[in-house]
Amino acid sequence: MKKLTLTNHAQEKTTVLENEFIDHYMAEANGEYVKVYLLLLRHLNNSEGSLSVTQIADILDDTEKDVIRALNYWKKQGLLDYDTGELGSAPSTEKAAERTSVAAPDTPEPASGPAAPDTSAAAQNIQPYRNRKEREEFKELLFVAEQYLGKTLSATDIDTITYFYDTLHMSTDLIEYLIEYCVENGHRSMHYIQKVALSWAEQKIATVAEAKASTILYNKNCYSVLNAYGIKGRVPASSEIAFIRRWNEEYGFSLELILEACSRTMSTIHQPSFDYTESILKSWLAKGVRHLKDVEALDAEYLLEKERKKKKDIKAAAPSGSTNNKFNNFEGRNYDMNDLERKLVQ
């Protein structure tokens, strides 16, 4: 059998990409992130040896935010290295011994006079990179997340958790509880976890204690409503959650009033109906109901009005002084009995 030998001659106009990148990093990375990495690799041996975030964005027709996200991603993967504070300037690119790295140049001496404010997109949109303690905490968080989710985190999963930390400013403890809470409720999808995280951010939940208080109240309300409808063994649907949130947050009804409306729904139509319960609660809202005693007062008023109407109907149907029968519409006739007898004899 003939032996085939392949030889690769690297040239100045050739960019060499290690197989390790293709085998272990490329598949899980976002396509835009790969483009940024390849562009940086392409410029490693350039004579000028530098690329700014703005230049990368222009070349790839991306936004500067997208470029920064890509750089952050590859730094977390351990393939790039740079000083985040230098992103507004032009970070140089240089080849490391075993893997590609991007190293920030030394900070130039400032010109005489006050320094101009840094208005670059990087300075405005990115926080200083975590210190050593924060990096260790974040690595531990990713490990814990993998244990809860029962899988190796993909690049997208890591990006999402990073978004919770850097953009939503959640602590590692809060993110860990967030994942634990979602998994315990049967949701391992990172998309679902992100929705919960955004909801907590809107509610300005910043600690685990606040999150627990919110989720306890939320769970109590949702599952109490399902139980009132006789629904067992499943979590509430998103549309059902929307109803319950509106009743509690927008209408301001207590759980006691909501459950009373659910009970009346079942008594009236004998089946669960969030729409029917909605109509009851809207009616109560219009009448200023705030407590269960207000509902009882409405019930008493309704019964009294019903009794008055019944008496009025009975009175309207009562007979008058004259005798009425089905023949009253006909004019009566008078007969001369003597004349009739005479005619009969003749």
pLDDT, mean of each 10-residue run, the chain (346 residues):
52 72 82 85 64 81 83 82 53 35 36 36 39 79 91 90 91 92 85 87 87 72 89 80 83 90 94 94 92 91 88 75 54 67 68
Contact 115, 136 (CB under 8 A): no
Sequence-distant (6+) residues with CB within 8 A of 145 are: 153, 157, 161, 175, 176, 179
Matching CATH topology for 19-105 and 130-206? yes
pLDDT, residue 15, reads: 75
pLDDT, residue 342, reads: 73
- Tell me, letter by letter, the H, E, C secondary structure of 204-232: CCCCHHHHHHHHHHHHHHHHHHHHHCCCC
Contact 261, 281 (CB under 8 A): yes
At 329, is the secondary structure helix, strand, or coil? coil
At 201, is the secondary structure helix, strand, or coil? helix
pTM comes to 0.37
- Give the chain's largest Cα–Cα span: 152
**Residue matched to tokens 């300005």:** 204
Q: What is the spatial distance between Cα 213 and Cα 205, in angstroms, rounded to a whole number? A: 10
pLDDT, residue 83, reads: 60
Contact 69, 35 (CB under 8 A): no
Instruction: Return the CATH number of the domain spanning residue range 19-105.
Output: 1.10.10
Q: What separation in angstroms does the CA of 204 have from each of 64, 168, 248?
A: 28, 10, 18
Q: What separation in angstroms does the CA of 312 have from each of 296, 315, 337?
A: 25, 5, 48
Instruction: Return the CATH number of the domain spanning residue range 220-313.
Output: 1.10.10
pLDDT, residue 69, reads: 85
pLDDT, residue 331, reads: 59
pLDDT, residue 270, reads: 93
pLDDT, residue 70, reads: 85
The domain limits of the chain are 19-105, 130-206, 220-313
Contact 66, 4 (CB under 8 A): no
- Tell me, letter by letter, the H, E, C secondary structure of 79-116: CCCCCHHHCCCCCECEECCCCEECCCCCCCCCCCCCCC
Q: Which CATH class is domain 130-206?
A: mainly alpha
